[in-house]
Amino acid sequence: MTTSAVVNFKQESLWKFPMATDLSKTSLEMLFANQVGMIYVPGFFSQIECDLFVDCFDRTPMGFYESVEPPIGRSGITQFEAEGHDKNWYFDQVESHSEKLRQMCRFSRNPLTEVMNKIQSSCGLEACRAQEPAYGTYFAGLIRQINKRALLHSDYAPFQAKGWSIERAYQQLAWNLYMTDFEGGEVRVYEKAWNFMSDEKYKLQNSYGYDYQLVAGKNYLTIKPEKGDLVLFNSQNFHEVMEARGRRLSAGSFFSKIDDSIQFWS
Ligand SMILES: O=C(O)CCC(=O)C(=O)O
Ligand SMILES: [Fe+2]
């Protein structure tokens, strides 16, 4: 299997390039400014290192998101799940999930730490986990198994995390590092940023997904990542994950430039 990228441009693009293949200060700035569709770093982790991570992961039990359909298995905790709970519910669980992630990385490097180090050295700003004053540090470094598909959606804290410090994430990026071999399971990013005024009416009922009418005629970029590859995109843009054959396990989080540092959370 080889990585493939498909560019589907139907109209003039804001993206100067569909994809950058190096993670640098320039490419990150372009991703923040929505001038590039994705940053794709092949072989960020070696094949053997991914295997060692997965071996260790498999000794640790995994849960599923509550009420997410199709089901998405995961280890770690997300701010998204805190909806309907108070902040303590989330922050009380951060340390045990962070410890679990450290345990999972006994045989390999820690994906979160490696991505944070790479981003810190690329852009010269401090990389750290996001902080919630009076509560503590956010969890970052979710491990997800997306078996079916992930519906069309956008991840954008200023809208989805009102009243939390991450709502100051004016531009929100996502990274994902793929730990297994699978077929299908492409990630597709549309050149369509979520817009408060026009887009909520496309939200599907009782779901995190949105109707495809929202992205009809929009440019998009599809990438089929391979084991060990790192992919970054601007998560305010609508995106989706295609059904995978085989096991599709990835590590990932969001990050943004907040108060002159690069802050990470899941
Ligand atoms: O698994 C992926 O490739 C992308 C998942 C996703 O929706 C995200 O990272 O925001
Ligand atoms: Fe997403």
Q: What is the pLDDT of residues 70-108, one digit of tens each?
A: 666 788 999 999 988 999 999 999 999 999 999 889 899
Q: What is the atom index within ligand 1 of the atom nearest the CA of 144?
A: 1
- Chain centre distance of CA 178: 11
Pocket test for ligand 1, best of 39, 176, 194 (most atoms within 8 A of CB): 176
Measured CA to CA, the distance from residue 38 to residue 245 in angstroms comes to 23
119 lines ligand 1 (CB under 6 A): no
**Which residue, judged by its Cα, is nearest atom 8 of ligand 1?**
174
250 lines ligand 1 (CB under 6 A): yes
Q: Are 99 and 107 in contact (CB under 8 A)?
A: no
Q: Are 57 and 102 in contact (CB under 8 A)?
A: no
Output the CA torsion 46→230→11→216 (10° steps): 110
Residue 234: predicted pLDDT? 98
The residue assigned the tokens 């805190």 is 82
Q: Calculate how far, in angstroms, residue 96's C-alpha sits from the geometric centre of ligand 2.
A: 24
In the predicted model, residues of the chain with pLDDT beneath 50 are none
79 lines ligand 1 (CB under 6 A): no
Annotated domain spans of the chain: 4-265
142 lines ligand 1 (CB under 6 A): no
185 lines ligand 1 (CB under 6 A): no
Scored b (16 or more CB within 10 A) or e, 9-34 reads eeeebebeebbbeebeeebbebbbeb
**Which residue, judged by its Cα, is nearest atom 9 of ligand 1?**
174
Q: What is the atom index within ligand 1 of the atom nearest the CA of 155?
A: 10
Q: Are 251 and 228 in contact (CB under 8 A)?
A: no
Q: Calculate how far, in angstroms, residue 201's C-alpha sits from the geometric centre of ligand 1.
A: 23
Output the CA torsion 92→96→101→105 (10° steps): 150
CA angle 172, 239, 40 (to 5 degrees): 70
Residue 60: predicted pLDDT? 72
Q: Calculate how far, in angstroms, residue 25's C-alpha sits from the geometric centre of ligand 2.
A: 23
Pocket test for ligand 1, best of 241, 242, 247 (most atoms within 8 A of CB): 241
Residue 140: predicted pLDDT? 98
241 lines ligand 1 (CB under 6 A): yes
- Architecture, CATH, for domain 4-265: Sandwich (2.60)
Q: What is the pTM of this model?
A: 0.94
Residue 73: predicted pLDDT? 74
Q: Residue 53: what are its φ and ψ, rounded to 5°?
A: -65, -50
